Amino acid sequence: MSSAPVKYSPSVETPLENETAAITGLRDTLHSINETTLRDGGHRLRSVHAKSHALLSGEMEILANLPPALAQGLFAKPGRHAVVMRISTNPGDILPDDVSLPRGMALKVADVEGDRLSGSEGQTTQDFLMVDGPAFGAADAAAFLKTVKTVAKTTDKAPGAKQVFSAAMRGLEQVIEAFGGESGTVKALGGHPMTHPLGDAYFSQTAFRYGDFIAKFSLQPVSPELINLHQAPLDVRGKPNGLRDGMIEYFATHEGEWDFCVQLCTDRETMPIEDASVVWPTDECPYVPVARVRIPRQSAWSQQLSGEIDEKVAFNPWQGLEAHRPLGSVNRARQASYEMSVDFRKAGYGCPMHHA
C-alpha cells in the first residue's frame, strides 16, 4: 500500500441538496418496473436483477493474521461462515439469455457479530452485492435516476426486439473494445459480451465503511477452472436459459473458489466516495484478499431453490454491520428502493421475507 488509509468518520459523506428528490424518484420509477412486470407476467419480481442463473450454498473463510488495517468489521476475527450466493443479470424483466447484460452476484454471509445498521437490527447476516465491472454507470443518485427512467420505459413484453437490439449492441461494444475502449452504457443496453459469468471478477462499485477505514470490495476467481473461464465464450444463442445451463454444468463437476478482496481508500481525491462512477486506481492501492469463498459441487439451480431464494430471500447492502455502512450518494439512494422492492415482493407471498 503506497500511503496510509483514510480514516472513516461520518463527515466523509457529503450529500447534495437535491438528493432526496432523486432518491424518491428512483424508488418510484423502480416501483413502476415492479408493477409492469407483475401486469405482464403475473409474478412479483425484483425491480432489477429479476432473473437468477445460479443459487448456491457454500462458505466464507476469514483469513487469519490479517494486518490491523485489514482486520476490520466482519474480517476482524478469523473463522468460517455459511454463505448463500445468487448470480443474476440486471434487468427487472425475465429475458432470454441472448439479450446479453451485466451480471450481478449477491452474497449473504451468515452469523456475523457486531453492531447492526439501523433497519437491520435483529438480523445476523452481512450482505455484499456486486456487479461484473469496477465502477457504477452513474456518478450519483440524480444521474442514475435518468438511466432508470429510460430502462423503465423499455420494461415490457418485447423480448424479440430486445434480442435484435442486443445483438446490435454487442457488435458495437466489440468495435469500441477493438479501439481500446469499453462502454458501460452499451453493455447495460444489451451489449455485454457473451462470456461465461463464472469467469468474471465482481465488484461492489460503491464505497463502504471498513471498520476504522473506507473500502470497495471485489470477488476474484482463484480456482484454475474459474480462471480458465475468464472471457471464455458461452454461446447462448437460441438457449433462453443458457447462462443457467452453463452454471449447472460447471457446478455438477467442479467447485469454485474466489478471493474476497478489499481495496482501501488512501486518497479522497482519486478515490472519491460520492462519485460511484470513478474506478479507484489499483496502482495507488490494490485489491487484497481478506477471505476465501468456497462453493462446493452442487446442483446450481432448480425450481425449488428458486422458490426458496429468488422469492423469499432479500439481499440488500443495508442488511449488515455498522462497520460496513454503505457510503456515498448511490448507496444512500439504495436503501429506500430495496425496501420498496422487498415490500412489493412480500405482499404477494403472504409470508415474511428471510433477511437472515
Which residues contact ligand HEM by CB under 6 A?
A: 26, 30, 46-49, 86, 88, 104, 106, 129-131, 136, 141, 144, 204-206, 314-315, 330, 333-334, 337-338, 341-342, 345
At closest approach, how far in Å is the CB of 128 from ligand HEM?
9
**CB environment 331-350: b (16+ within 10 A), e (fewer):** bbbbbbbbebbbebbbeeee
- Determine contact, residues 108/125, Cβ cutoff 8 Å: yes
Could you tell me if 98 and 237 are in contact, meaning their C-beta atoms sit under 8 angstroms apart?
Answer: yes
Nearer to ligand HEM, 66 or 327 (CB): 327
Of the two residues 89 and 266, which places its CB atom closer to ligand HEM in the complex?
Answer: 89
Q: Smaller CB distance to ligand HEM: residue 66 or 261?
A: 261
Give the C-alpha separation, 314 to 127, whole Å.
9
Measured from the CB atom, the residue of 112 and 314 that comes closer to ligand HEM is: 314
Q: How far is the CB of 160 from ligand HEM (least distance, A)?
A: 25
Specify the 3-state DSSP secondary structure of 215.
strand
- Minimum CB distance to ligand HEM, residue 22 (Å): 9
Closest distance between ligand HEM and the C-beta of residue 232, in Å? 22
Residue 56's Cβ-side half-sphere holds a number of Cα atoms within 13 Å equal to 30
φ/ψ of 320, rounded to 5, equals: 170, -160
Q: How far is the CB of 105 from ligand HEM (least distance, A)?
A: 6
Write down the least CB distance from residue 31 to ligand HEM, Å.
9
Percentage helix, strand, coil for the chain under 3-state DSSP, each rounded to 5:
35, 20, 45
Would you say 66 or 127 has its CB closer to ligand HEM?
127
Q: Which is nearest to 211 in space by CA: 69, 317, 306, 344? A: 69
Smallest separation (angstroms) from ligand HEM to the CB of 131: 4
Instruction: Name the helix (H) or strand (E) containing 346.
Output: helix 328-349
Q: Which is nearer to ligand HEM, 66 or 107 (CB)?
A: 107
* Residues 207 and 328: beta-carbon distance below 8 Å: yes
Select 37 or 341, whichever has its Cβ closest to ligand HEM. 341
Q: Which three cell numbers stand for residue 180?
A: 481500446
* Phi, psi torsion values for 185, nearest 5 degrees: -70, -45
Q: How far apart are the first and last CA of the chain?
A: 35
Side chain identity, residue 150: T
Cα(272)–Cα(63) distance, rounded to whole angstroms?
28
The Cα–Cα gap between 177 and 170 comes to 10
| Chain position whose Cβ is nearest to ligand HEM | 104
Nearer to ligand HEM, 66 or 88 (CB): 88
Our CB check for ligand HEM shows the closer of 54 and 321 to be 54
Q: How far is the CB of 258 from ligand HEM (least distance, A)?
A: 15
Q: Please report, as a single letter, which amino acid is at residue 190.
A: G
Q: What value does the CA radius of gyration of the chain take, rounded to a whole number of Å?
A: 19
CB of 322: closest distance to ligand HEM in angstroms?
20
C-alpha cell belonging to residue 99: 439479450
